[in-house]
Structure 1
């Protein structure tokens, strides 16, 4: 399908359910997609951070896109991450995911080698030139160790290279600079400004965001859709209350013992444990080498679900 310009609303970064032997669990993935669609989301983003894309093989990545795009059948736009270190490798992923049915690609800055803003801009221009679908920039400094400069994003948007931005930097002021700059620039139209934060969706909407890509929306899509609709209807107080309920639910990402696991293991393990406890997926396994949650930690996730009225 054609990507809406701008893309608005809630676009979850879809988790990738895995079997105990770490293969893609296709039946669980289909149930997860149905769960998200029933929750009222306006798009699906596969192969992002919450999808554990960095841990999947190329064959697994393609299977995920084929499964999701085939299942939604054009009812919703499917965005696919093409995250890799260099332009040539990203273009390989672009060819694979677009052949598998992706409606847009989501691209970080290059990483591993240090990059200059001029090189980052060149990367996006080359990717866009080789992509048959729109390109959305992914600002992910925690993963690629580079913050996308606002002026680079706006210049590329004005050139027609970028169709949007998914901002997972946590820098609301920087995000606002992009949003206000895109709104004021006569050469930028239909640009999608999306926040990747679970915790400040209401604030991002207030500064002009078009939508949100929160990992926690896997667990509670209805909550984020409700928040988005309340805000757009002008009920700021109800939207704030819903955001605060979701902030409390997000506390589940801290259940993992940081003495034996990192933040990714704890957060992604919590999302998958929550989906498992809600009966959406069959197994809460995360990809290697992430450390699984203990039974006690999974039980703590259940407490957060119960507190949010989801069990």
Structure 2
């Protein structure tokens, strides 16, 4: 299907359930997609950070996209990450996920070596020229060590290179600059500005963002759909209360012991533990070499679910 321009609402970055042997758990993935669709989300983003895309083989990535697009059957737009180090490798992923049915691709800057803004711009122009589907930029400086400049994003939007931005930078000033520019510049039309934050969705929507891509929406999609709806009707007080409930629920990402695992292992492990405890997926394991949560830590995640009324 053609993605809306702009794409609005809640677009969860779908977790990738795995078997104990770390293969894609297709039945659990289908249950997760059903869980999200029933909750009223507005799109799905596979092969992002919350999907553990960087840890999956190329064959596993394609299986995820084929599984989700085949199951959704055009009910919702499906965005797929094309995450890799260099332009040629990203182009291989773009071709693969587009052939597997993705409606748009989400692309980060090149990484590993230091990259100049001119090289970033060239990267996106080359990807867009070869892509059969729209291209959204993914601003993730924590992973690629380069911040996408707001003016560069807006310039590429004006050229028609970029159809949108998923911002996970945490730079609210630059995010607002993109939001304002997309709204006020006469040479930009239908550009989607999406926040990747779990904690500031109400603030982002109040600033004029089009939607949100929060990893926690895997666990509580109803909450984020409700928050989105409250913001769109201008019920800011109830939206604040809902956002604060979701902020408290997000505390689950600290259930993992930082002395033995990194923040990614803890956060993704918590999301998967929550889905496991809610009966959505069969197994809470994360991809290697991430450290799995212990039984005690999973119990800690359960306390956050109980506090949010989800168990």
Confirm or deny a common fold (TM above 0.5): yes
Following TM superposition, by how much is the alpha carbon of 1:16 offset from its aligned partner in structure 2, in angstroms? Answer: 0.1
The structural deviation recorded for 1:173 is 1.1
1:39 matched residue in structure 2: 39
Distance in 1 between the 2:231 and 2:98 partners? 34
Partner of 1:187: 187
| CA distance in 1 between partners of 2:196 and 2:236 (Å) | 20
Q: Distance in 2 between matches of 1:236 and 1:272?
A: 30
1:108 lines up with 2:108 in the alignment: yes
Asked if 1:270 corresponds to 2:270, the answer is yes
Runs of 4+ more than 2 Å apart: none
Matches within 5 A, 1:203-222: 203-222=203-222
Task: Write out per-residue CA displacement over residues 113-137 of structure 1, whole angstroms, 9 at most, x where no aligned residue.
Answer: 1100000000000000000000000
Residue number in structure 2 paired with 1:157? 157
Whole-angstrom CA distance in 2 between matches of 1:58 and 1:74: 23
For 1:182 and 1:233, the matched residues in 2 are separated by: 22
Shift of 1:107: 0.3
Find the residue that maps to 2:283 and give its secondary structure. coil
State the shift of 1:182 in Å: 1.1
Q: Which residue of 2 aligns with 1:175?
A: 175
**Corresponding residue for 2:122?**
122
Shift of 1:165: 0.2
**Cα distance between partner residues in 2 of 1:116 and 1:148:** 10
The TM-score normalised by the length of structure 1 is 1.00
Q: Look up the match of 2:131.
A: 131
Residues 177-207 of structure 1, C-alpha deviation per residue, up to 9 Å, x if partnerless?
0010111111100000000000000000011
Provide the rounded CA distance (Å) in 2 between the counterparts of 1:100 and 1:299. Answer: 37
Structure 2 counterpart of 1:285:
285
> Equivalents in 2 of 1:267, 1:171: separation in Å?
20
Deviations 1:49-89, CA, capped at 9 Å, x for gaps: 00000000000000000000000000000000000000000
Counterpart-to-counterpart distance in 2, 1:310 and 1:230: 20
Instruction: Tell me which residue corresponds to 2:62.
Output: 62
Aligned to 2:166, what secondary structure does the other structure show? strand
- What pairs up with 1:47-58 in 2 under 5 angstroms? 47-58=47-58
| RMSD of aligned Cα (Å) | 0.3
Between the aligned partners of 1:225 and 1:31, the Cα distance in structure 2 is 19
Q: Distance in 2 between matches of 1:85 and 1:184?
A: 33
1:238 is aligned to 2:234: no
Aligned-residue offset at 1:273: 0.1
Question: Which stretches in structure 2 are left out of the alignment for 5+ residues?
Answer: none
CA–CA separation in structure 2 for the residues paired with 1:175 and 1:13? 19
- 1:220 Cα deviation from its structure 2 partner: 0.2
Query: In structure 2, how many angstroms separate the alpha carbons of the residues matched to 1:254 and 1:38?
Result: 28
Distance 1:69 1:187 in 2: 32
**What's 1:94 paired with?**
94
**Which secondary structure does the structure 2 equivalent of 1:45 belong to?**
strand
Structure-2-length-normalised TM-score: 1.00
Question: Residue 172 of structure 1: CA displacement?
Answer: 1.1
Measure how far apart 1:37 and its partner are.
0.2
- Which string of whole-angstrom CA distances, capped at 9 and with x for unpartnered residues, describes residues 198-232 of structure 1? 00000000110000000000000000000000010
Structure 1 residue 147 corresponds to structure 2 residue 147: yes
**Secondary structure of the residue that 2:42 maps to in structure 1?**
coil
Secondary structure class of the residue paired with 1:309: coil
Q: Distance in 2 between matches of 1:230 and 1:184?
A: 25
Q: Deviations over 1:142-172 (max 9, x none)?
A: 1111100001000000000000000000111
